[in-house]
Amino acid sequence: MSESTIANQEQREFWSDIKGDLWVTLQPRIDMMLAAFGNKALDTLDPQSGERILEIGCGTGTTTLALGERVGVSGEILAADLSQPMINKAIERADLGAQHPITFVEVDAQVHNFPTAMFDAVYSRFGVMFFDDPVAAFSNIRQAVRPGGRMTYVCWADRKANPWIRIPAGAAKAFLDLPAPPPDDAPGQFSMENEGRVQQILHDAGWTDIGLERFTIDGSIGSDAADAASFITKMGPMSEPFALADLDTQNKTLQVIEEALTPYANDSGVVLGFSTWIVSAMQT
C-alpha cells in the first residue's frame, strides 16, 4: 500500500508500530474483553448465509472468522485494515482455520477503491473511529454496498461512561506524558461518542435509517489490580508512552494504576463499566 493510496498516514503508522505489535501479542486477551461488543453488533447486523460482507478494521481477524461462520461457504468476506502487523496475524489465523471465503486487504477504507454496489452489508468492531475525514470514509464505504444493503458497527460511547479506561489513564498521568484528548471532530477512540455527531456524519455520507443503541456492560480487565494494570498499560491510550518510558517510570506507573484499580477488584476480577453505541444504517 503506497502513501498515495491512503489518507490516514498517521493512523497507519500508529497501528503498524508499537500499538499494532502489542495488539497482536495481546490478541486472545483483547478478544475476550471485546467479545460481548463484537457479538452484539454481529447479532444486530444478522448476517445471512450466502451474503457478501465488507468488514472495516478487521484487526487480528477474530470478527472476520465469526462473520465467515455466519455467511457460510456460499458467502464472502472482504476484510480491510491498515495495520500491517494485525492484518498479517488475521491472515495467519484464517489460513489455519477458516472454512469460508475470506479476502484480506491492507488498505485505507477512507479512500480505497472498493467494488461498487457489491456487498450486502458492512460490519465493524471498533474500526471506524480513526478516519481523518469520516464523511468521506463512510461515503466511500457506502458506494461498496448494494441498494437496500445495511451497516452495523460498534464504537465507544462517552468517556465518562467508560471508567475501564478513564480511571487507569487518569492515574497514569502522574508519571506518563499522555496526549491530550483530541477534539471531538478528530480521529480517536472516542471520536464517535456524541450521538448527534454520528447521526450527522452518516447522514452527510448518504446513509439512511440511522439508529444508535446504547450497549453498556460491566466487565473485567484483569484477575486482580496488578494484572489489570499490566494489561491496560499495553492496550490503552498510555501503551505507547508506557512502552517508551524508562523502567523506573514504568514501575511507578504500574504502581499508581494498581492503587487506582484496587477498589474495583472482587472475586470476578477488576470490574468496571464499558459503554458503547451499536450503530445501524441503510444504503438506499
Residues in contact with 237: Cβ distance below 8 Å, sequence separation at least 6, in sequence order? 165, 169, 178, 179, 189
pLDDT digits (tens, 9 = 90+) for 107-146: 999 999 999 999 999 999 999 999 999 999 999 999 999 9
Q: How confident is the model at residue 1 (pLDDT cuts 50, 70, 90)?
A: very low
Quick one: CA dihedral 143, 31, 173, 82, positive or negative? negative
Which of 17-21, 31-35, 81-85, 166-170 has the weakest average pLDDT? 17-21
Measure the CA–CA gap between 152 and 154, rounded to whole angstroms: 7
pLDDT given at position 221 = 97
Helices (H), the chain: 9-15, 18-25, 27-45, 62-71, 84-97, 134-143, 163-172, 195-204, 225-235, 239-244, 247-261
> Looking at this protein, which amino acid is placed at residue 239?
S
Q: Taking the CB of residue 228, how many other CB atoms lie within 10 A of it?
A: 26
- Domains annotated for the chain, with CATH where assigned, are 3-282 (3.40.50.150)
Total residue count of the chain as it appears in this document: 284
Q: Minimal CA–CA distance to 129: which of 150, 103, 108, 155?
A: 155
Q: Per DSSP, what are the bridge partners of residue 121?
A: 53, 150
Average pLDDT value for residue range 165-169: 95
∠ at Cα 233 (227, 236), nearest 5°? 115
